[in-house]
A and B are shown apart, each in its own frame.
Chain A
Amino acid sequence: MEHVFIVALIVGGTALLSLPLGAWMKLAMDPASDRMTRWTSLFARICGTTEEQGWKRYLVTMLIFNAIMFTVTFLILALQQVLPLNPDGMGPHDPTLVFNTAASFTTNTNLQHYSGEASMSYFSQLAGLMWLQFVSAATGIAALAALARGLAGRATLGNFLIDLQRASFLVLLPLALVVAVLMVLLGIPMTLQGSAVATTLEGVTQTIARGPVAAFLTIKQLGTNGGGFFGPNATHPLENPSFWTNGLAMIAIMLIPMACVWMFGGILGRMKHATVIFSVMAVFILIKIAGSVAFESAPTSAFAELPVSTETGNLEGKELRFGATGGPLWAVLTTSTSNGSVGAMHDSLNPLTGLMPMAGMWLNATFGGVGVGMINMFLYIVVAVFVAGMMVGRTPEYLGHRIEAKEVRLAVLALFFHAILILGGTALFAATSLGQATVQDPGAHGFSEILYEFSSAAANNGSGFEGLGDGTGPWNIATGIVMLLGRFLPIILPLAIVGSLMSKRRAAESAGTLGVEDATFGTMLAITVVIFGALTFLPAAALGPLAEHFSLP
């Protein structure tokens, strides 16, 4: 009963909060011509342009901007030993790790093959990584706003540099300030002083890592980044000290991805359509939560032989402060939203519980990353509309845009890439010593560790199943490439679809056209997500979590 209450409070409460935020995001990102113009003109002055961009210009600007961010971060990380703000004297990194980390934070993934407190200087954490946590999230919001403008029938997609500032200064920064202050009040450190040195009761001298944690962790959650200040992420007592910080963090994880759906609907002027999309996403997330909480209430097989009480469920790898429910709940939320911060050891989850986070990353659209989750859902919408459109006896149309060969090709290509990045990468590492030598566990569980790592990279999630020696050169390079492709292809292809739609005559809607605002369409969309998103991964799931589960004594 307590589980249900916590889930309802966190998920339901965030859904309610997302409504006003979504309305504000619509206003901020896509101001009606005479409102908010002061902000727009300020941003235009800063970036020195008011150019109205078509889909290609918008995309090219975005890619150039991200390329620059990647390069700058690469240099900061590579040269951290000679740069300021390094009170603990952190040394240089391995080049492949620098590549992996720069790719990881540019792509909003925050897959971490390092432990922040042990190897990153404050300058690297703040100027390199935290900066990217803001702009990568802002890039996602901008891309979604552009997509929605195109679908709404505007002549252009807007201006990327202006959108980027709107998302950063009007959405992310104010929200991060509020949440960070709350986090500090709840006891999370925020300091630029080096590690504290303490003498314990036993008389041992202990070095306690600290730093500007509150600022870092706030944007990590809000921007679906997920990269922790500390290696253990949100299981570290200074990154997540109490029930209240835990709850607040979970709300922060889902808030903007949920609000993005409302922003999308707002720009389209189709709130009913947004409600249908939101409902489909919510159903998926609730199924995953219900599944993981139920599966995790079973005791872990590791303790089967031990004389311990198991009626509280599987507590291995959990923060005892949050219990057997808090861990799996966090695991589902963080993987459904492409966040990737962790609140429990995923490696220790019961096999079927571990399947839920993986499913979240395979679909990558049940709220998904900031901005990009909704963009991914758009791909499923294109496919669903195409099949459903034929079933109502018309050339398929989405909001009056005819879906034809070109759009279908681009949408299917994006889904194809997602599959090949995950399955292809897993195949390469599972079949060779590249992966086999790095897994900690034999058999199906070890396979899950590899599968999870590539799912996390391709979905730009960033959480680790762990139990994997993923700090090697091949892992750094492979996941780095997968993250970059997994980030930008699902932005390039949908924007190309919108570009193609914008060049066509828009059709009028009537009772004869496919409605996208009713439960029937929601059902169709959900089926499409299952068949095109999940079914592809069923064989891999069978050999990983399912095999492990059914092999349990």
Chain B
Amino acid sequence: MAQHQNTSIFSADLVGPAIRDSFTKLDPRRLIRNPVMFTTATVALLATVLLMRSIASGGDIAFEAQIVFWLWLTVLFGNFAEALAEGRGKAQAASLRSTKAELKGKRVKGDTVKVVPASELRAGDIVLVETGDQIPADGEVVEGVASVNEAAITGESAPVIRESGGDRSAVTAGTRVISDWIKVRVTAEPGEGFLDRMISLVEGASRAKTPNEVALTVLLTGLTLIFLIAVGTLPTFAAYAGGSISVPILVALFVALIPTTISALLSAIGIAGMDRLIRFNVLAKSGRAVEAAGDIDTLLLDKTGTITLGDRQATDFLPLSDVGEGELIEAARLASLGDETPEGRSIVELAGAGGTAPSGKEMVAFTAQTRVSGIDIGERKIRKGAVDAILKLHDFDAAAVRQIRSLTERIARAGGTPLAVADGTRLLGAIALKDIVKAGIKERFAELRRMGIRTVMITGDNPLTAAAISAETGVDDFLAEATPEDKLELIRKEQSGGKLVAMCGDGTNDAPTLAQSDVGVAMNTGTQAAREAGNMVDLDNNPTKLIEIVGIGKQLLMTRGALTTFSISNDVAKYFAILPAIFVALYPGLDALNVMGLSSPQSAILSAIIFNAVIIPLLVPLALRGVTYRPQSASRQLVRNLGIYGLGGLIVPFVGIKLIDVVVSGLGLA
């Protein structure tokens, strides 16, 4: 996908197909999805029929033909905007599809291995993937370790490790094993895999209207109905004044007044919003999720990787007074052999070389629930882990507990994370782990606060450490010694207070919280369960992105709101162009309303309708790019957008229509 990232909006290979699509989209079954554009097409058709009649019976054919031309162009411009927005997705989908078509898998049944097309693989099948093979279907690694190049999905060419067990077991169809081998249990039926979902997402095929889009469509349709009344009653009013208004002119007034601009751009804005997210390497499973991202009130951020740089490193061993440093170091090393987390490895590293674990050992792996790892050597149980978790293991000697508490407090005060080490019933001492806070993160949190978003740091650290780090980074709150249950509890509490919560996670134990949160971003490296539970997947595995995702969601809604405001404010100028043009024949005095000094009634009507049409393609870049988004409070946001798009929408058409009038009358078109 990376190769498509810099395609410009108006590149030739996108514009060509988009123009073609503008015509195929005239199909009424597709137009009806957008009631305002459907109405425009209907009245354009009506005007066309009347033009035919005029040609047959004689009338002002040149003028009527121009109106018909611009009416159809209005519809086509709307189709073009949508087609252009879809274009980029289609190109991506095509390349993904070709990847998919070539996939073959080596299915393992008993001892036999048979090469079959990926489409024949069912959930539960085991496939063998060796060096150079593409992984044929989404699945879970059940055996082996391999480095996998996921560039086909993420655009990131640095390979990642995939191995059985733990949180890095998920593999995706279309990615390539570049060394070693793995056996994969297929988890997705054909056509339901990640690749398939991605294809339909980028293509916009499965795009359902989001709730806000539906509501806006209702507003625009309602406005169209109101203007239908306003324009539809005019002939009777004119009849009272002893005159009449021709239908093509009524049609022109009607189309100029109804909110064609925003309606034409509406679906393009939605598609472009999804597309921005995709190009940001985040896949949203629905447009609804993108909108929800803009509504987020509370961000739950994992400390590690989001607030602090990657992994904590062990920096010190602090033995109790009656324990030798060597004994602590050796015990810590042994207890950490079973801990494959980066912290565990850093302890082993800091401890340096030592004897290998004796035979008869049994490793106790680290889990998020126990927060303890260790080793059993015969009767000897060595454990290391979070201090409170260790202290719960046994009723340790009170003096030792006091000592360890003062040690851990010292570490925590310094913003480090303490771990405790115990050998059976004896406490040995503490290990200090140090976090490194990411540069610039404090400013980001301040930004979020101005936007009214509360940040909560989630950490397994004890409250003292958490407090020290949260003070250093400026998060609003923290959840220390967090278990998955605590997280779930916190999310529910926030939600019951009417807040929308976003979080990211990768492990299987994150799945319930990802599902509970309003926006759950799963890391692509995460487990299949996590990827299923979240409503977005981050292909880059960068939890900090949550902040940008919120911005993209807001930008989507702001673009919609800004263009709606612009579109509706345009009506003032259009009224002043068309009304005097229509009525001047009935009451010559009404020429006083012709404040723009348009050259003739026909030119005024034509200029308004031309402006109404050409403003659509002119706004396409804005619709696709989104309005400029700055993290600031809602009221400043409103002042800014109201100033630019409200006031702009009031003034621009006065200038635009006048300029078009000069050209139209100069060319003698009307």
Contact = CB atoms under 8 A, between A and B. Distances in A.
Contacts of B553: 393
B450 interface: yes
Contact of A393 (B238, B500, B554): B554
Interface string A539-550: 110110011011
B452 A426 contact: no
B564 interface: yes
Interface stretch (A141-149, A230-238, A281-289, A521-529): A521-529
B633 A511 contact: yes
A392 B236 contact: no
A506 B498 contact: yes
Q: Which of A419, A505, A515, A537 has the most CB of B within 10 A?
A: A419
B215 A404 contact: yes
B639 interface: yes
Interface residues of B, number: 77
A514 interface: yes
A interface SS class? helix
B215 A408 contact: yes
B499 A424 contact: no
A436 B579 contact: no
A196 interface: no
Nearest to B243: A543
B558 A391 contact: yes
Interface stretch (A208-216, A353-361, A381-389, A475-483): A381-389
Given A506-B498, A546-B590, A405 B554 contact: no
A308 interface: no
A536 B212 CA distance: 25
A393 B592 CA distance: 41
Interface stretch (A8-16, A154-162, A258-266, A409-417): A409-417
A444 interface: yes
Interface string A416-435: 10011001101110110001
Contact of B572 (A405, A535, A542): A535
A550 B589 contact: yes
B583 A542 contact: yes
A546 B240 CA distance: 15
B215 A394 contact: no
B572 A510 contact: no
Contact of B451 (A506, A511, A523, A543): A511
Contacts of B645: 391
Interface string B623-655: 000000100011101110110011000000000
A383 B564 CA distance: 12
B69 interface: no
Contacts, number: 231
Interface in B536-566: 553-555, 557-558, 560-562, 564-565
Given A393-B557, A540-B237, A542-B579, A547 B586 contact: yes
B619 to A, nearest CB: 16
Interface string B210-222: 0110111111001
B230 A427 contact: no
B622 interface: no
A73 B452 CA distance: 56
B226 A419 contact: yes
Interface string B235-251: 01111110000000000
Nearest to B645: A391
A546 B593 CA distance: 9
B241 A543 contact: yes
B227 interface: yes
A512 B634 contact: yes
Interface string A485-504: 00000000000000000000
A508 interface: yes
Given A508-B498, A514-B634, A550-B589, A403 B561 contact: no
A431 to B, nearest CB: 4
Interface in B295-319: 295, 297
A527 B638 CA distance: 13
A438 interface: no
B237 A426 contact: yes
Given A510-B454, A523-B642, A550-B587, A543 B230 contact: no
Given A408-B215, A447-B240, A539 B231 contact: yes
Interface in A332-372: none
Contacts of B554: 392-394
A435 B629 CA distance: 55
B interface SS class? helix
B557 A423 contact: no
Interface string B318-331: 00000000000000
Contact of A403 (B215, B232, B497): B215
A443 B583 CA distance: 13
Contacts of B568: 387, 531
A523 to B, nearest CB: 7
A447 B241 contact: yes
Given A394-B557, A550-B592, A551-B589, A413 B229 contact: no
A542 B564 contact: no
A52 interface: no
Contacts of A520: 635, 638-639, 642
B569 interface: yes
A515 B646 CA distance: 18
A491 B375 CA distance: 73
Given A408-B218, A521-B638, A543-B238, A536 B560 contact: no
A547 B590 CA distance: 6
Q: Which of A443, A518, A523, A542 has the most CB of B within 10 A?
A: A542
B385 interface: no
Nearest to B213: A405
Contact of B233 (A394, A423, A527, A546): A423
Interface string B565-578: 10011011001000
B218 A427 contact: no
Interface string A389-406: 111111110001001110
B497 A444 contact: no
B174 to A, nearest CB: 34
A538 interface: yes
Contacts of A427: 232-233, 236-237
B15 interface: no
Nearest 10 interchain pairs by C-beta:
A512-B452, A390-B561, A393-B554, A412-B222, A550-B589, A510-B452, A511-B452, A391-B561, A431-B236, A427-B233
24 contacts: A387-B568, A388-B642, A390-B562, A391-B561, A391-B562, A391-B645, A392-B561, A392-B634, A405-B218, A412-B219, A412-B225, A416-B225, A419-B229, A424-B233, A427-B237, A431-B240, A435-B240, A506-B498, A511-B450, A511-B633, A518-B635, A524-B642, A538-B575, A552-B589
Given A427-B236, A552-B589, 5 more contacts: A395-B291, A415-B222, A510-B454, A511-B634, A540-B237
Interface of A: 383, 386-396, 400, 403-405, 407-409, 412-413, 415-416, 419-420, 423-424, 426-428, 430-431, 435-436, 443-444, 446-447, 450, 505-508, 510-515, 518, 520-521, 523-524, 527, 531-532, 535-540, 542-543, 546-547, 549-552
